[in-house]
Structure 1
Amino acid sequence: MDQIRQTIDRNSTVRLYSQIKQILVGELRNANGSDAPVLTEAGLIKRFHVSRAPVRQALAELVESGYVVRHRAKGTFPVQGLNVHLPPAMELGGG
């Protein structure tokens, strides 16, 4: 099934890394195991047309929030059995 991929809004007051993180959280939450998106820095840079800094920040926050795990020289992997509810502060535009 084809999914419409969300894009970032460069006119928004929400920082780029926060927008990227929120998009990825939605994709991770909607993925079914093998459907889980592959998260590579290079792929995300190309997808969102941003520099490395916002991608690295978004991935770091996904790790901190427990959505993904990162293994040096191996990649970034979704946490299995992800069933997380976002607190209001983590919603797009939250504080």
Structure 2
Amino acid sequence: MADQNQNNNKLNIELPEEVAEGVYSNLAIISHSNQEFVMDFVRLVPNVPKAKVKSRIIISPQHAKRLMKALAENIHKFEAQHGPIDESNNPPMPPMSFNTPKAQA
């Protein structure tokens, strides 16, 4: 009976080839409303004054909190294996302007 319940709880996740390639981002912009968190992943290129959002992920506040905890746990494991992540050479944040209307919920 326990084995049957375990099989019913398994989640089969498909990773299409075009998604598996991933999208490189070196800037994340996070905003929120009372119902959701919006994460825009941007690729900044040196000497190019315009950058495009490469991916937008919209999640619930509950999932945002689970994601934050999962990232913290993975960063802890990474640093335990590879040493502290050096943040000293981060470039300053560029000034940003968005050509999108204000979000409303």
Q: TM-score, normalised by structure 2?
A: 0.26
Between Structure 1 and Structure 2, the one with more strand by share is 2
Higher relative contact order (CA 8 A, sep 6+): 1
Between Structure 1 and Structure 2, the one with more helix by share is 1
Larger Rg: 2
